[in-house]
């Protein structure tokens, strides 16, 4: 058993005096296909070797007790109250959003330990949701689209956030050494082998601008109104020549990003199959430009990291990843250049913003699993 699982079991036993089941689910970095998931488009995430472990065992106390080691915080509710709870903007919302969908018997204890940085665009939330569902005894076989939908509902139904399904899907269907091409309309996916000669490095801006949450909802609404003008159910069904049917020029630019981004995902997959690293890198940079100018979800820190990275020898491509307004960039870097990349970009960012960025040289990893 992995060292982390042992550690989590020991921490659980020390806290609750019983022996838990343990599950893990990974974070993800999205290579390309940003903000396309809730438009039922194409995305290309990789599950990464940073993950969330959740341990859980029944208690007979009639309460749900949860503890996050990351935050060193605990919460507790009578089991009978769970179904009536509302989201309150607390980290426990993610756990309740799952727990309310599963039978809790006469009580449950839960302990959470994650190496996915919280709120940095590497999907600590979906990792938490999926691992929680498994640890609480979600009964189905893995991998499962039903589990992805259950986890997504914690955000869409309980928390009222109109999130797409990419994060939960990646946490469940991820595969070692490969990216996942997900069609968010059909929910079909294929694994895409990545060329060996490339390292994936996420760089954390260490900022999260307040604007992010409201802007996300606004983008969802802008895309919905663009689809309405065109007369399609979602922008996935729109074609480039129909963009002029969108009356509001801002909504038109948002839609242009979605259409061009879906196309870039396909081109990236093709380039990856051919081992064309330069083309893969070029598409990342184009994606960033589109997110910067058409979709307007970047920020000074993300733009700086993406632009400055491209000046470093051995960087093939760089762009923001995740929702935007902070969080991480994703970079494709020649393996031999990774150390220089970190040093050069780290000191440039520190000099510009007075903040040390955090680097994650990530490896594509397997999706969620029950461990014991």
Longest distance between any two alpha carbons in the chain, whole Å:
64
68 makes contact with ligand ADP (CB under 6 A)? yes
In the complex, least distance from residue 92 CB atom to ligand ADP, rounded to whole angstroms = 8
In the complex, least distance from residue 97 CB atom to Mg ion, rounded to whole angstroms = 12
- Two structure tokens written together for 80: 């009978």
Tell which one of 119, 275, 314, 346 touches ligand ADP (CB under 6 A): 119
Closest CA to 37 of 274, 272, 195, 219: 219
167 is catalytic: yes
Tell which one of 56, 101, 124, 234 touches ligand ADP (CB under 6 A): 124
Select the span of 97-105, 121-129, 193-201, 216-224 touching ligand ADP (CB under 6 A): 121-129
Euclidean distance between CA atoms 62 and 308, whole angstroms: 55
Q: Is residue 356 within 8 Å of 122, Cβ to Cβ?
A: no
Q: Which of residues 303-332 bind ligand ADP (CB under 6 A)?
A: 322
DSSP 364: B
Tell which one of 59, 120, 262, 298 touches ligand ADP (CB under 6 A): 120
Query: C-alpha angle 157/107/70, rounded to 5°?
Result: 65
In the complex, least distance from residue 126 CB atom to Mg ion, rounded to whole angstroms = 6
**Residue 112's binding partner out of ligand ADP, Mg ion, none, with CB under 5 to 8 Å set by partner kind:** ligand ADP
Which residue among 109, 167, 229, 294 is the active-site one? 167
Q: Is residue 131 within 8 Å of 25, Cβ to Cβ?
A: yes
Residues 6+ apart with CB under 8 A from 234: 39, 40, 185, 223, 227
Q: Which of residues 125-154 bind ligand ADP (CB under 6 A)?
A: 125, 128
By CB under 5 A, name the binding residues for Mg ion.
Answer: 123, 125
Tell which one of 2, 7, 71, 300 touches ligand ADP (CB under 6 A): 71
**Residue 70's binding partner out of ligand ADP, Mg ion, none, with CB under 5 to 8 Å set by partner kind:** ligand ADP
Q: Which of residues 95-114 bind ligand ADP (CB under 6 A)?
A: 112, 114
**Residue 121's binding partner out of ligand ADP, Mg ion, none, with CB under 5 to 8 Å set by partner kind:** ligand ADP
Helix (H, G, I), strand (E, B) or coil at 273: helix
Select the span of 6-14, 120-128, 253-261, 362-370 touching ligand ADP (CB under 6 A): 120-128
Euclidean distance between CA atoms 137 and 345, whole angstroms: 44
Select the span of 118-126, 304-312, 337-345, 358-366 touching ligand ADP (CB under 6 A): 118-126
DSSP 67: E
The residue (of 91 and 173) whose beta carbon lies closer to ligand ADP is 91
Residues 6+ apart with CB under 8 A from 42: 33, 36, 181, 182, 183, 184, 262, 265, 266
Q: Is residue 241 within 8 Å of 212, Cβ to Cβ?
A: no
How many amino acids of this chain bind ligand ADP (CB under 6 A)?
18
Euclidean distance between CA atoms 122 and 39, whole angstroms: 20
> Could you list the active site residues?
167
Interface residue list for ligand ADP (CB under 6 A) = 52, 68, 70-71, 91, 94, 112, 114, 118-125, 128, 322
């Amino acid at each position: 058993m992995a060292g982390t699982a042992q550690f989590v079991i020991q921490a659980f036993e020390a806290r609750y005096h019983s022996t838990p089941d343990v599950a893990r689910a990974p974070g993800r970095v999205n290579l390309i296909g940003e903000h396309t998931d809730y438009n039922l488009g194409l995305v290309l995430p990789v599950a990464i070797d940073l993950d969330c472990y959740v341990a859980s065992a029944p208690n007979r106390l009639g309460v749900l007790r949860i503890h996050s080691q990351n935050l060193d915080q605990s919460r507790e509710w009578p089991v009978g109250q769970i179904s009536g709870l509302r989201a309150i903007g607390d980290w426990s919302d993610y756990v309740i959003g799952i727990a309310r969908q599963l039978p809790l018997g006469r009580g449950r204890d839960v302990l959470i330990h994650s190496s996915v940085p919280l709120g940095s665009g590497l999907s600590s939330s979906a990792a938490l949701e999926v691992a929680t569902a498994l640890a609480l005894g979600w009964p189905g076989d893995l991998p499962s689209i039903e589990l992805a939908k259950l986890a997504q509902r914690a955000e869409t139904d309980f928390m009222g956030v109109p999130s797409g399904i990419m994060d939960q899907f990646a946490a469940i269907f991820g595969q070692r050494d490969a990216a996942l091409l997900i069609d968010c309309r059909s929910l079909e996916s294929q694994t895409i082998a990545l060329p060996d000669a490339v390292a994936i490095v996420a760089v954390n801006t260490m900022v999260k601008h307040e604007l992010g949450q409201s802007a996300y909802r606004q983008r969802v609404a802008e895309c919905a109104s663009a689809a309405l003008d065109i007369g399609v159910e979602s922008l996935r069904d729109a074609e480039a020549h129909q963009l002029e049917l969108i009356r509001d020029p801002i909504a038109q630019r948002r839609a242009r990003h979605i259409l061009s981004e879906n196309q870039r995902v396909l081109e990236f997959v093709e380039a990856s199959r051919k081992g064309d690293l330069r083309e893969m890198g070029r598409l990342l940079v184009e994606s960033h430009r589109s997110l910067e100018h058409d979709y307007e979800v970047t920020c000074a820190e993300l733009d700086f990291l993406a632009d400055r990275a491209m000046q470093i020898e051995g960087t093939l491509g760089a762009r923001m990843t995740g929702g935007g307004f902070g969080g991480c960039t994703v970079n494709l870097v020649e393996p031999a250049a990774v150390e220089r990349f970190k040093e050069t970009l780290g000191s440039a960012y520190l000099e510009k913003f007075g903040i040390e960025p955090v680097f994650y040289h990530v490896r594509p990893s397997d999706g969620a699993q029950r461990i014991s």
